Amino acid sequence: MGKVAFVFPGQGSQYVGMGRSLYEGSPAARAIFDAADEALGERLSRLIFEGPEEELKLTRNTQPAILTVSMAMHAALVARGERADLLAGHSLGEYTALVAAGALCFADAVRAVRARGSFMQEAVPQGVGAMAAVLRLEAQTIRALCAEAAQGQVCVPANYNSPEQTVIAGNAEAVDRAREKLTAAGARRVLPLPVSAPFHCSLMEPVKPRMRAVLEGLRIAALAVPVVSNVEAVPNADSGRVVELLVEQVTSPVRWVESVRAMVAAGVGRFVEVGPGKVLTGLIKQTDKSVEVTALDEAEALQKLLG
């Protein structure tokens, strides 16, 4: 089977009620939810379990909510003696991976991603930016057509999710122009995404100095397990590089395809998606069909975890 990697989801995997059975069935998981409430000075756990959905979908709430549920699952896994050889997370999920690696303390990370979500919401006025998922078109073609569509604005690939899916981001008008070009070039579909900001592109530049100020105020400990960064798509075990990689991540594309391939090349034969939903499970299967992938959010998997 080879090595095991735990992978942590990013924004878009949230739903009202996520993690409730963990809270009720695992003392280790419950402690994480309680710690999040204490760190933020509010009942984040109530919002996660009860909604309303519109409030949970706000980026400033979504980011700490997904981090909390993912870490609650991780705590339940660790309580059962499960361990990973490598860690990675998609965008926001990289923060979760760093908590799991011991580099960031959980309370610091919850407050940091709350700030990250707020900064991202504030960076670009509503309606100015957009994102869209491009299905079944080569990344090279997508890059070229985005550059054509930009016309002095921003339009770039933001997430290289799988060989079958790339997400683009930028100014709303430029993304619209790109959607037409990509469809004409043979993309199976180009789907607008319901996001509050155009993540992982240069429109997020104002977020970087604000995020750096937050992160430089935190204690970054040694990594017990290497974390594959979104920016470089290679395992990093150097705590001195964590802040720089997280700051660069704000405007850099998420290199998920390369990250998965790097983990497989390092000997990973089993991936466990630790967190809500099973988005990463699907992307990993599209990238490499030879590996075993488990999504812990499925009821059966959770029951096994809690049993």
**Which residues carry out catalysis?**
91, 200
Q: Give the sign of the dihedral formed by CA 107, CA 246, CA 100, CA 273.
A: positive
Residue 67 to residue 39: CA distance in whole angstroms = 13
183 Cβ contact partners less than 8 Å away, ≥ 6 residues apart: 190
Cis peptide before 52 (omega within 30 of 0): yes
The answer to whether the beta carbons of residues 204 and 250 sit under 8 Å apart is yes
DSSP 8-class letter at 233: -
Residue 87 to residue 77: CA distance in whole angstroms = 14
Residue 96 to residue 16: CA distance in whole angstroms = 20
CA distance to 14, 186, 306, per residue, from 19 (Å): 10, 39, 12
Return the structure tokens found at 73: 């699952």
Largest CA distance in the chain: 56
The answer to whether the beta carbons of residues 70 and 63 sit under 8 Å apart is no
The strands making up 86-89's β-sheet, listed across from edge to edge, are 235-236, 227-228, 86-89, 3-8, 268-273, 292-295
